[in-house]
Amino acid sequence: MDAYFLDWANLLLRWVHVITAIAWIGSSFYFVFLDNNLIRPNSPDLLEKGVDGAMWAVHGGGFYNPQKYMVAPKKIHTKLHWFYWESYSTWLSGFALFTVLYLWNAGTFLIDKSLMDWSSAQAICAALAFLVVFWFIYDVISRAFGFRQNGELIVGASMFVVIAFAAWLACHLFAGRAAFLLVGAMIATAMSANVFFWIIPGQRKVVAAMTSGVAMDPKELAMHGKRGKQRSVHNTYFTLPVIFAMLSNHYSFLYTHEKHWVILVMMMLSGALIRQFFVQRHGYHLGRAKNPWPFAVAGVVVLVGVIVWMRPAPSASDTSSSKAAPVSYAQVQQVFAQRCYSCHGEQVQMKNVRFDSPEGVKQHAIGIYQQAVVLRQMPMNNATGITEEERLLIKRWFEGGAALK
């Protein structure tokens, strides 16, 4: 019964997390779009109000006229909307999901004893350290170099090195699926921390100075705006790498590969390059940025290169399997008994699934084939040590008609 409610918690938290992530990333993309499309107006009344950029847009049968003020407007006439709950809700729901799925079941999902034979408490502490330490390193580098000449290039290169090392380390400490997700969660934590520690506090100080009437150093006000813009731009480059890391745990051919950490780093790099293309594309049309197409081409080249590099070589066993003798139920039942009954037998029924009877196997035959052969996700982290020969045996049994006698 506990597993049943845990599954529901997993589903509902995942649902909330996806919804809030869509809201957060959508608003982030929209404001980056605005920054690259707002044009300084010529109208005296707008200039007098302090409008630095404006545009007209049409959507849903209505016309919109977004305007951007440098530092702050002289007066806000309507309710001021703050964009921060999207970020906080995404992180909170994501961390809750990570806790329910990975930390609560660390021995099953987080630990791969063939990599690191440690206790659940040790693995949990190490995983949480990834979130905290990455934020600290990223924040120090951004503050130290972000506003220097070529500072953003230094920050970007430094972050690539740090993320590559973190990916390598995570993939050598944790189960592959958990390692990929942990690297994504590490970056996502920095994104939300940017909002919590820098973007919103800076905006609150600007609004407080504006509404209180107390004079404030213009340079300090401008710095809050510059730093908020800096961290917001960093967040938009992080989005596609994070989304890839979160989706990758559904595709075991990625995190079970011998060089899985290299795959993760290259795919994240591809996402960042493609995001750079979209960031610069609108500015290029307005003459504000260089041609962004090289970034798109570079991102696609990296992506295609990973696909070609990972392509499996033809297997002799695959070509000869169709000529081999049919596999009986008795043969695969021995594999199920040794590799599957510990989680799907009389004592334990993970996901309410049992394989210790012909009826149960018949009901879940396609799932067995998909999870053990196609996706190779089961047994989880190969905890029961299923062999390639046994996976091939299940493949031949299923493709031969999934006999139950």
| Per-residue pLDDT tens digits for 245-272 | 999 988 888 988 889 999 999 999 999 9
pLDDT in tens, 60-112: 889 999 999 876 787 787 888 898 999 999 999 999 999 998 998 898 889 98
* Band (1; pLDDT cuts 50, 70, 90): very low
The residue ranges of every structural domain in the chain are 2-37+71-265, 323-399
Spatial CB neighbours of 21, under 8 Å, sequence gap ≥ 6: 90, 94
Q: What was the pLDDT predicted at 359?
A: 86
pLDDT in tens, 298-318: 999 999 999 999 987 765 555
Q: What was the pLDDT predicted at 194?
A: 97
Average pLDDT, the chain: 88
CB 263 within 8 A of CB 310: yes
Q: How many CB atoms lie within 10 A of CB 189?
A: 21
pLDDT in tens, 98-154: 999 899 889 888 998 889 989 999 999 999 999 999 999 999 999 999 999 999 999
- Look up residue 160 and give its two tokens: 């690539």
* Band (159; pLDDT cuts 50, 70, 90): very high
166-177: b (≥16 Cβ within 10 Å) or e:
bbbbbbebbbbb
Backbone φ and ψ for 393, nearest 5 degrees, come out as -65, -45
